[in-house]
Chains A and B, each alone.
Chain A
Amino acid sequence: MTTVTSQNKAARLSDSLDAQALLGMLSQMMAIRRFEERCAQSYQQAKIGGFCHLYIGQEAVAVGSVAGLQPGDPIITSYRDHGHALARGMHPNYAMAELFGKVTGCSKGKGGSMHFFDKPRHMYGGHAIVGGQCPLGVGLAFAIQYLKEPKVCACFLGDGALNQGAFHESMNLAAIWNLPIIFVVENNSYSMGTHIARGTAGAEDLSVKATAYGMRFARCDGMDVLAVYDCFKGLGDAIRSGQSGPVFVDCQTYRYKGHSMSDPQKYRTKDEVTTFEERDPINRLVNSLVESGRATQEQVDELDNQAKRQALDAVKYANESPEPDVQEEMFTDVYSQPYGPYKLGQLPIMLTDSEEGQST
């Protein structure tokens, strides 16, 4: 087992990123933050149904990892999936429309918050059964290896998924077959109200999970987008070039909001939340950019205004989008080769209707 830490101050891969790339990451984090704030509001207004899990606080993980990987690398995650979809470039309109259950949504209103998919952007889904995406991620990596493609799969999971059998079987399969996959634990310390120390053996040092499968381990500060970028850029390139097999990454992060929209948060103190908010990934990048003169405060403010406008536009788009024709849409997409009462469906308009659908 090798331990890679991103604290190597000497030379960081992110040092070579130009201001435009850095501002790109910043604006993505802002877009996710503002999008999620609008989600919360729309949820309160009962525009959004079901469960809704916000990504606020964890933005650096999706944005930094996606930036460090290649656009064609498949990613797959849990139900806390809005950030990953937006980081991959899904237009917020289609994301918000999905939350509103509209036919213009990324999954035509049939998936909802926990089931975002974006095929052109190689986003293989939000998956709502804890740990259930891990074997699927291994399958994506298996296919990459089978087809001899120079790609890497990133499989995101919550710390709670560490306690699922599916996760352990997946780690074992990835290790014995040396598959091109990065398992990324978005370790926000909690699965709902259960602190990781109460639910996970070896919680104080998750490298033991990698050791158990003879797998490479990395730890990174998930509140620092550049640290996440460094970690994924390094690992992605190492796997792609055959210098590394699968890797297990402990990305330490924090969710500021409740587990879902109905969480009184009795299990943690306000102080604890504040401590992490002080390390906010967006502020951190803003400060570093402004202090080093790579961006002005005005530039940064303008990006944030853009993010706010975009989120508001997304709500407007979702509001104005049509409801599906219930009888018509209900029976489509059940089968690719339908029979009996089932019908072929049309692809989501995200894929067909505009340049937004084009893969990056």
Chain B
Amino acid sequence: MTAMRQIQYREALNEAMCEEMVRDERVFLMGEEVAEYNGAYKVSQGMLDQFGARRVVDSPISETGFSGLGIGAAMYGLRPIIEFMSWSFCLVAADQIINNAPKMLYMSGGQFPVPIVFRGNNGAGGQLGSTHSWSVESMFASVPGLKMAIPSTPYDAKGLLKTAIRDDDPVFFLESERLLGFRGPVPPPEEDFTIPFGQADVKLPGSDCTVVALGRPVHFALQAAVELAKEGIFCEVIDPRTVRPLDIDTIVASVRKTNYLVIVDQTWPFASVAAEIAMQVYERAMDDLDNKIVRVNNEDVPAPYNRAMEQEMLPNVRKICEAVRAVTYAA
């Protein structure tokens, strides 16, 4: 492998889209402010200049309209990337994205695949109040027919987005606004690297407690691991990277080694991704657990505006440390 570069998460996303658009004429980007404004969060910076208005398309504020448009275009053989300014706004397009995209292949008896990527910011933390602070992974992960990726680093962002664009199924790609400026190592552009779906990444090896986290909370888990290491507790931080498919095997293998599991999930606890992972671990490795599984979810309330309240509502480093200490009987 050639030398890695340090680039931002948003640059990684931009590179993935540009490379795939050069590679495949059928790929186009559509969304609000993606073209002339260069992206509400500058993810599509420069793409209009590079590809022109045919392939980088500013849509009016019509999530139902343009997400459905993308699905129709995908049925016809194009490979759309549909950007939601925020996943919070996809809710007005729910029928299109969860009724049409993931079910079309099945309902048509295999006649109409829908190769589309829906992508955008997911998650709270910017003091935007409840309407703008959605994390949609738990709500949508239960829908068969879609795939879901949640990158936590620039490396994963690029590799997973390229895979998403090449995938023949609808992919829900959940980015984090809070991570857009985060820098990390990414292979050079000439290296055509992709990350297969369904392969968890061990973000930090450890022996004492498995901590599973997705998206932005991966970084909280890593910070917690640094704190806990000072106390002699060595966490193994696992980032599944995709929820559908979910690499449960890597999680289970880790649990067999550490015998303890904490799951961090930036959605609400009831029927959440964390609840699902816990269940799957119980089904496979109950006898390997030396304590119950502990979840660190959002508190079960709407996202508040107040900064302190918001931070306390979300998973955070302190809560993860407390959970690990409790589950490993170190508290």
Residues of A participating in the B interface, judged by any CB pair closer than 8 Å: 74, 76, 105-111, 115, 117-119, 124-125, 127, 129, 132, 134-144, 146-147, 165-166, 169-170, 172-173, 176, 332-337, 339-340, 345-348, 351
CB distance from B64 to the nearest CB of A (A): 5
- Chain B residues whose C-beta falls within 8 Å of the C-beta of A136 in the assembled complex: 68-69, 71-72, 75, 100
Q: Report if B74 contacts A (CB, 8 A).
A: yes
In the complex, A119 Cα to B113 Cα: how many Å?
A: 11
In whole Å, how far is B71's beta carbon from the nearest beta carbon of chain A? 6
Q: CA–CA, A146 to B25, complex, Å? A: 10
Interface residue ranges of B76-99 to A (CB < 8 Å):
76-78, 95-96, 99
User: In which size bucket is the chain B interface?
Assistant: 35 or more
Answer whether A336 and B113 are a contact pair too, CB < 8 Å, given A110-B106, A132-B96, A166-B68: yes
**B77–chain A nearest beta-carbon distance, Å:** 7
Q: Are A143 and B72 in contact (CB under 8 A)?
A: yes
The 5 lowest CB-CB distance pairs between A and B, nearest first, are A139-B72, A135-B68, A169-B65, A108-B109, A143-B76
**Cα–Cα, bound, A253→B104 (Å):** 29
Question: What are 11 A-to-B residue pairs whose CB atoms are below 8 Å?
Answer: A111-B109, A117-B107, A124-B72, A135-B65, A135-B67, A139-B75, A141-B72, A142-B69, A166-B95, A340-B245, A346-B110
Known contacts A129-B95, A165-B64, A169-B62; A139 and B71 CB within 8 A of each other: yes
Interface residue from B62, B110, B168 paired with A337 (Cβ < 8 Å): B168
Q: How many Å lie between the Cα of A59 and that of B107 in the bound state?
A: 25
A173 touches B76 (CB 8 A): no
**A41-B145 Cα distance, complex, nearest whole Å:** 35
- Pick the contact of B105: A76, A137, A140, A333 (CB < 8 A): A333
Contact B169–A135 (Cβ < 8 Å): no
Q: How far is the CA of A129 from the CA of B98 in the complex (A)?
A: 12
Complex: A6 Cα to B171 Cα, angstroms? 45
- Residue among A117, A172, A332, A335 having the largest count of chain B Cβ atoms under 10 Å: A335
A301 to B154, CA, bound (A): 71
- Select which of A109, A140, A335 is within 8 A of B169 by beta carbon: A335
Q: How far is B96's CA from A162's CA once the two chains are assembled, in angstroms?
A: 17
Chain A residues, CB < 8 A from B104: 125
Highest count of chain A CB atoms <10 Å: which of B62, B96, B112, B115: B62
Q: How far is the CA of A107 from the CA of B112 in the complex (A)?
A: 10
Contact B107 A336 (CB under 8 A): no
Residue of A nearest to B147 (CB): A335
Q: Is the CB of B60 within 8 A of A144?
A: no
B residues within 8 A CB of A176? Answer: 60
Given A132-B96, A334-B145; A107-B68 close (CB under 8 Å) = no
Complex alpha-carbon distance, A143 and B76, angstroms? 7
Q: Which chain A positions have C-beta within 8 A of B245?
A: 339-340
Q: Is B123 an interface residue (CB 8 A)?
A: no
Q: Which chain B residue lies CB-closest to A151?
A: B76
Inter-chain contact B68/A139, CB cutoff 8 Å? yes
In the complex, chain B residues whose CB is within 8 Å of the CB of A347: 109-111
* CA of A215 to CA of B241, assembled, Å: 46
Beyond A140-B76, A143-B77, A336-B169, whether A105 also contacts B115 by CB under 8 A is no
> Which residue of chain B is the closest to A149 with respect to CB atoms?
B76
Q: List CB contacts (< 8 Å) of B102-148 with chain A.
A: 104-113, 115, 144-145, 147
**Are the C-beta atoms of A129 and B99 separated by less than 8 Å?**
yes
Nearest-Cβ distance from residue A345 to partner chain B, whole angstroms: 5
In the complex, A132→B64 CA distance in Å? Answer: 9
Taking the nearest CB of chain B, how far is it from the CB of A341, in angstroms? 10
Shortest CB–CB separation between residue B170 and chain A, in angstroms?
9
Say whether B72 contacts A348, CB under 8 Å.
no
B74 contacts across to A, CB distance below 8 A: 139
Bound Cα distance from A285 to B96, whole angstroms: 40
Contact B73 A143 (CB under 8 A): yes
- Partner of A107 from B73, B109, B144, B147 at Cβ < 8 Å: B109
Distance A136 CA – B111 CA, assembled complex (angstroms): 16
Do B54 and A146 touch (CB < 8 A)?
Answer: yes
CB distance from B55 to the nearest CB of A (A): 8
In the complex formed, the residue of A with least CB distance to B75 is: A124
**Cβ–Cβ contact B96 & A138, under 8 A:** no
In the complex, chain A residues whose CB is within 8 Å of the CB of B113: 336
Q: Report yes or no: B68 in contact with A332, Cβ–Cβ below 8 A.
A: no
Contact of A117 among B72, B76, B95, B111 (CB under 8 A): B111
- Residues of B266-314 contacting chain A, CB below 8 A: none
Contact at B107–A110, with CB atoms within 8 Å? Answer: yes
Query: Is B240 in the interface zone, CB < 8 Å from A?
Result: no
How far does the Cβ of A343 sit from chain B's closest Cβ, in whole Å?
11
Contact of A348 among B70, B110, B169 (CB under 8 A): B110
Q: Which partner residue on chain B sits nearest A108 by CB separation? A: B109
Given A135-B71, A138-B69, A139-B68, the answer on whether A146 and B110 have CB atoms closer than 8 Å is no
- List residues of chain A with CB within 8 A of the CB of B68: 132, 134-136, 138-139, 166, 170
Given contacts A146-B54, A173-B66, A335-B145, 5 further A-B contacts (CB under 8 A): A140-B73, A332-B110, A337-B167, A337-B168, A337-B169
Structural contact, B72 and A146, CB atoms closer than 8 A: no
- How far is the CB of B102 from the nearest CB of chain A, in Å? 8
Residue B197 lies at the interface, judged by CB distance under 8 Å to chain A: yes
B198 at the interface (CB under 8 A from A): yes
Q: A135-B64, A173-B60, A173-B65 are in contact. Are A333 and B96 (CB under 8 A)?
A: no
Q: Is B260 part of the binding interface, using a Cβ–Cβ cutoff of 8 Å?
A: no
Whether the Cβ atoms of B198 and A339 lie closer than 8 Å is: yes
Alpha-carbon distance between A205 and B94 when the two chains are bound, in angstroms: 31
Give A247 to B41 CA distance when docked, in angstroms. Answer: 36
Residue B28 lies at the interface, judged by CB distance under 8 Å to chain A: yes
> Which residue of chain B has the shortest Cβ distance to A342 in the bound complex?
B144
Q: CA–CA, A146 to B104, complex, Å?
A: 22
Q: Collect the chain A residues with CB atoms within 8 Å of residue B60's CB.
A: 172-173, 176
Contacts of A105 in B (CB 8 A): 109
